[in-house]
Amino acid sequence: MLLQIGTLIAATSLVQLANGFFNTFLSLRLTLEDFGPAATGIVLSAYFVGFTIGAVSSGGVIQRVGHIRAYTAFAGLVVVATALMPLWTSAVVWAACRAVIGIGCVGLFVTTESWLNAKAMPDQRGRIFSTYMVGTFVALAIGQLAVAGLTIQAAGAFQVVIALFALALVMVSTTRAEAPGLKPEAKLRYGELSRQAPISVVGCVVSGIVTSAFYALVPAWMLSNGAPQQTIALFMLVAVLGGLAFQVPVGRLSDRNDRRLVLAGLAVGYAAAVILLVAMPRSLLAVLPVAALLGGFMSTLYPVCVAHALDRMPQDRVVAVSGRLILVSGIGSALGPLLGAQVMARLDINGLLYFMAAISALLAALAALRIRQRAAPEQMSERPFAIIDPMTAPISQEPEATEADGSPRPLPA
């Protein structure tokens, strides 16, 4: 079983390596293609549109055909769409391909995480999912470094992405055991989450906007202003590593305090870091520490929102809540490049940064207002803060089953 789990984690790390590299590379490539702000924003947002669609529909695919066949189908979608992009350079074609890639990627993440959830013993889940998420962040970081070594104008970058997804497909499709099917999920009525945890919903939208705008548009701006590829790769690498470094300390702080207060602090910290980036001289040594702060504050907004929502909702709706929040975050992520590209076209990078700072400050104000209106839960949820990357799928860990004596009941192998 451990070999199967290790294979799944390794394969998904390859997928995230390809994904992190491709997202940054495409931002740079679109700058050279000169599609214009509107078309560029549409192409960059298309991935998140597909991601949102896939987050809603991929579970049904897994239910019908099983985990391994679903993984094969989703990976095949990504390979085909990626292979088509260098053959037909068109904003419309690239937007369609990116939407398909988004569907395929979220399908891979949902398949992997539901498989891990079904296979892991209750006393191993925390360690397994922590390893999974650390592997995700490390792979995203390595993906940024890969940007420095390839020619942006050539088709080699597309081939690297295809090769990595194909290798992940080979690893998973040759695993020996068939995974169990998904269990039926508790339903969550539309509007219920907004009533119980409105700040989580707003926070996920804001998190999606600032995260997608940052990763999609900042590398393009740096390239258009003559920054070398190595510098861009290093800047993005530091931002990803900053996100990883913040996870544990923010998680501990979130578990011990009102999560809305922590969320407000993160939003203020992000806004302050953005303003600092505007004020700093354009020197690599000066900018890199700010990049780490940006990545740290940005990457922890979403998991704190998820943890707060789970505090407010019944345990049997854990999966439904996580799925609804990834949908909300996906909507925000689709809006980020669209709005950000228009703002940057009119006001340059400073306008984009001020825009991201403004909506983060608005989130902090709403969180403070909510604290005054409603007290924190008397008891925190049994599900504490978890390391979650909003650009993957929801961590669909279900409440642990127990025997009559209260001891954990093993899941079926």
Write out the chain's pLDDT in tens, 413 residues: 566 677 878 888 888 888 888 888 888 888 888 788 888 889 989 998 998 888 888 878 887 888 888 888 999 999 999 999 999 888 999 999 999 999 998 888 888 777 776 666 655 655 666 677 777 788 888 888 888 777 787 888 899 889 988 998 888 877 765 555 556 656 667 677 778 888 989 999 999 999 989 988 888 888 877 788 888 889 988 998 998 888 888 888 888 888 899 999 999 999 999 999 888 877 788 889 999 999 999 988 988 888 888 887 776 666 677 777 878 888 898 899 889 888 988 888 888 899 999 999 999 999 999 888 876 665 444 455 555 555 554 444 444 444 444 444 443 33
Find, among 213, 240, 275, the residue nearest to 137 by Cα: 240
Per-residue pLDDT at 84: 93
pTM for the predicted model, two decimal places: 0.79
Find, among 94, 125, 101, the residue nearest to 15 by Cα: 101
The type of residue at 346 is R
Per-residue pLDDT at 177: 57
Burial of 406 (0-12, 13-18, 19+ CB in 10 A): exposed
Q: Which H or E run contains 229?
A: helix 229-256
Beta bridge partners of 408: 402
Q: 120 φ, ψ to 5°?
A: -75, 140
- Give Cβ neighbours of residue 237 (< 8 Å, ≥ 6 apart): 141, 144, 145
Tokens representing 234 are 């290093």
Spatial contact of 209 and 337, defined as CB atoms under 8 Å apart? no
CA distances 378 to 303, 310, 318, Å, are 20, 14, 19
CA distances 350 to 207, 218, 236, Å, are 19, 11, 18
